């Protein structure tokens, strides 16, 4: 496939809650044949399995950030799995400068570097509605939106516990307080690519693929 060999394969997707990271990450991973490593998905799967410590579940439910060590350990374990050998897309990690530094150190130990930090830019005014009306199919993990991407009638829908407006506002505050600072960290490395995430899903996908050279 001409062009595919040029595409970047060690990627981070950044952007505020509800920006569309998960939606676009799935499409990029399918196209590049790399795994999507979403810290939010891993934490929710552990909660569902009853293996997430109660204090971490409480932090997630309140819209705060789980302590750096817990997520860094989780990502370290996941990136050591064989399917990450030829690339990965980190979705929702890193969320603090300390997490970004830990990731760089992990990769450097294998003589690797991150290639792109893609930032999906969406203003807060659109994010509340995106998160509050999001629904996920429990069986397939497919992400829907009651207004912009309605689910089929047979979907087994789940409304995330942290997608209620008051919690979404706290998540937005956590993003502004801790996660936005990761963008200048990657700007210094010259790997930031920004995409306007306010357009339709299809238009955003086109822009994301172009930004990644896919
Ligand atoms: P996490 O699961 O990572 O949540 P998030 O970053 O808040 O991101 P979301 O999943 O809410 O949004 P998204 O950008 O993926 O948007 P989506 O594609 O679904 O984290 C959850 C919690 O876990 C955190 O609050 C924290 O507690 C903890 N956590 C996780 N990682 C951590 C870390 N590294 N450190 C510390 N704590 C951590 O789209 C949203 C909706 O919009 C959908 O309905 C979709 O259909 C719709 N949509 C998407 N694109 C468009 C479009 N272009 N137009 C219209 N609608 C659209």
Backbone angles phi, psi at 159, to 5 degrees: -105, 115
Q: Is 100 in the pocket of ligand 1 (CB under 6 A)?
A: no
Measure 153 CA to ligand 1 centroid, in angstroms.
23
Residue closest by Cα to atom 55 of ligand 1: 148
| Residue 143 CB partners (closer than 8 Å, separation 6+) | 22, 23, 26, 134, 135, 136, 149
pLDDT in tens, the chain (214 residues): 444 445 669 999 999 999 999 999 999 999 999 999 999 999 999 999 999 999 999 999 999 999 999 999 999 999 999 999 989 999 999 999 999 999 999 999 988 999 999 999 999 999 999 999 999 999 999 999 999 999 999 999 999 999 999 999 999 999 999 999 999 999 999 999 999 999 999 999 999 999 999 9
Q: Is 16 in the pocket of ligand 1 (CB under 6 A)?
A: no
Name the pTM for this structure.
0.94
């Amino acid at each position: 496939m001409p062009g595919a060999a040029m595409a970047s394969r060690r990627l981070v997707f950044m952007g505020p809650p509800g920006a569309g990271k998960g939606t676009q990450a799935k499409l990029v991973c399918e196209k590049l044949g790399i795994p999507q490593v979403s810290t939010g998905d891993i934490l929710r799967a552990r909660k569902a399995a009853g293996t997430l410590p109660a204090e971490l579940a409480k932090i997630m439910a309140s819209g705060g950030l789980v302590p750096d060590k817990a997520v860094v350990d989780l990502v370290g374990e996941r990136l050591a799995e064989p399917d990450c050998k030829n690339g990965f897309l980190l979705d929702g990690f890193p969320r603090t400068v300390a997490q970004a530094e830990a990731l760089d150190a992990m990769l450097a130990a294998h003589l690797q570097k991150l290639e792109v930090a893609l930032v999906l830019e969406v203003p807060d005014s659109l994010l509340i509605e995106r998160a509050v009306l999001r629904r996920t199919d429990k069986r397939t993990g497919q992400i829907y939106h009651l207004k912009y991407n309605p689910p089929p009638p047979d979907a087994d829908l789940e409304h995330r516990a942290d997608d209620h407006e008051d919690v979404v506002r706290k998540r937005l505050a956590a993003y502004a307080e801790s996660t936005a600072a990761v963008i200048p960290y990657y700007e210094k490395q010259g790997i930031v690519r920004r995409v306007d995430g306010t357009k339709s899903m299809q238009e955003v996908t086109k822009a994301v693929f172009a930004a990644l050279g896919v």
